[in-house]
Amino acid sequence: MTSATQTQPVRFLKGHGTENDFVIVPDPDGVLDLSPAAVARLCDRRAGIGGDGILRVVRSAAHPEARHMADEAEWFMDYRNADGSVAEMCGNGVRVFARYLQRAGHARVGECAVATRGGVKRVHIAKAGTGSPEGDVTVSMGRARTPDDEVTVAVGGRSWPARHVNMGNPHAVAFVEDLAHAGDLLTEPSYGPASVYPDGVNVEFVVDRGERHVAMRVHERGSGETRSCGTGACAVAVAAARRDGTDPAATGTPVSYTVDLPGGRLVITEHPDGAIDMTGAAVIVAEGTVEPALLAGTAAD
């Protein structure tokens, strides 16, 4: 791999899915070595480009972690969190990644596959004007687990029962009367029992907006309140379906919930076999090059 101290500028794009934003770095041959520090600098909202993470675009055959998926998906989403740490998957990130593939001519309207550390994700790109001006993108999010744990979350002296939903990461979903009751979600809500979530938990606060239509706020562990959380929206839809008696496994009928987040709207559909689809907008907003000094950490203060 080429060192992040290379002398040539690196091309990037900026995109978001319901305001969950990412720096996209095309690297088809897998030659660019982005260190954790370089990723953190790119994601810095004051001194870098700014983003919730990095989507490095690599051919599956060119990446050692993805070669075994190359027959199913040509492109691998090498996702990094804003702090530079490696992550398995990001639902909103997959939608933005697919939009980049379409923009670059690597994917067309219809079905495509994206390799991730969490496996191959199936994606559907809708035609322009379907759902959003660019066309919505749907990604298969896998299946939820709903353990029968009795959980409570609390903020500012108020407490609520919550449903434990696991989407590959843990969620505690609480239905409340007013989203303002969630208070300042930059501060982590308290929850219990602690033994249910030994590694922390994402906490969703949810209100009803209409039939199969909810709104939510979320505190993501380690990040505070965020504008959007794809797995959180899926967890909320699953919890709402169980509450409303519309569990597809019991009814034999798919169920969809519209979920409003601070950053936009997602539609979550759960099928009788438990498979969950997430649909929403994905937008590319900018394109340019990064100066090598930023990646190397030698940019002037």
Q: Give residue-wise pLDDT tens across range 247-260.
A: 999 999 999 999 99
Residue 231 marked in a binding site: yes
What global pTM score does this model have? 0.90
State the pLDDT confidence band at 81, using cuts at 50, 70 and 90: confident
SS3 for the chain is: CECCCCCCCEEEEEEEECCEEEEEEECCCCCECCCHHHHHHHHCCCCCCCCCEEEEEEEHHHCCCCHHHCCCCCEEEEEEECCCCECCCCHHHHHHHHHHHHHCCCCCCEEEEEEECCEEEEEEECCCCCCCCCCCEEEEEEECECCCCCEEEEECCEEEEEEEEECCCEEEEEECCCHHHHCCCCCCCEEECHHHCCCCCEEEEEEEEECCEEEEEEEECCCEECCCCHHHHHHHHHHHHHHHCCCHHHHCCCEEEEEEECCEEEEEEECCCCEEEEEECCEEEEEEEECHHHHHCCCCC
Q: How far apart are CA 61 and CA 28, in angstroms?
A: 10
Residue 91 marked in a binding site: yes
Taking residues 45-53, what's their average pLDDT? 93
Please name the fold of domain 10-136+283-296.
Diaminopimelate Epimerase; Chain A, domain 1 (3.10.310)
Is 43 considered catalytic here?
Answer: no
Is 229 considered catalytic here?
Answer: yes
- Residues near 137 by Cβ (< 8 Å), separated by ≥ 6? 17, 95, 98, 99, 123, 124, 125, 126, 279, 280, 281, 282
Neighbours of 169 (CB within 10 A): 19
Q: What's the token pair of residue 59?
A: 């051919």
Q: Give residue-wise pLDDT tens across range 90-141.
A: 889 999 999 999 999 999 999 999 999 989 999 999 999 998 999 999 999 9
Q: How far apart are CA 84 and CA 105, in angstroms?
A: 28
Q: Are 279 and 137 in contact (CB under 8 A)?
A: yes
Of 252, 255, 280, which is closest to residue 269 (Cα–Cα)? 255
Residue 56 marked in a binding site: no
CATH superfamily of 151-277: Diaminopimelate Epimerase; Chain A, domain 1 (3.10.310.10)
State the pLDDT confidence band at 188, using cuts at 50, 70 and 90: confident
Neighbours of 54 (CB within 10 A): 25
Rounded to 5 degrees, what angle do the CA atoms 282, 121, 82 make? 60
Residue 7 marked in a binding site: no
In percent, how much of the chain has pLDDT > 70?
97
Q: Up-side HSE of residue 134: CA atoms within 13 Å toward CB?
A: 22
Q: How far apart are CA 236 and CA 257, in angstroms?
A: 9
State the pLDDT confidence band at 183, using cuts at 50, 70 and 90: confident
Domains 10-136+283-296 and 151-277 share a fold: yes
Residue 166 marked in a binding site: no
Q: For the chain, what are the domain ranges?
A: 10-136+283-296, 151-277
State the pLDDT confidence band at 204, using cuts at 50, 70 and 90: very high
Of the candidates 43, 112, 229, 234, the residue annotated as catalytic is 229
Average per-residue pLDDT for the chain: 92
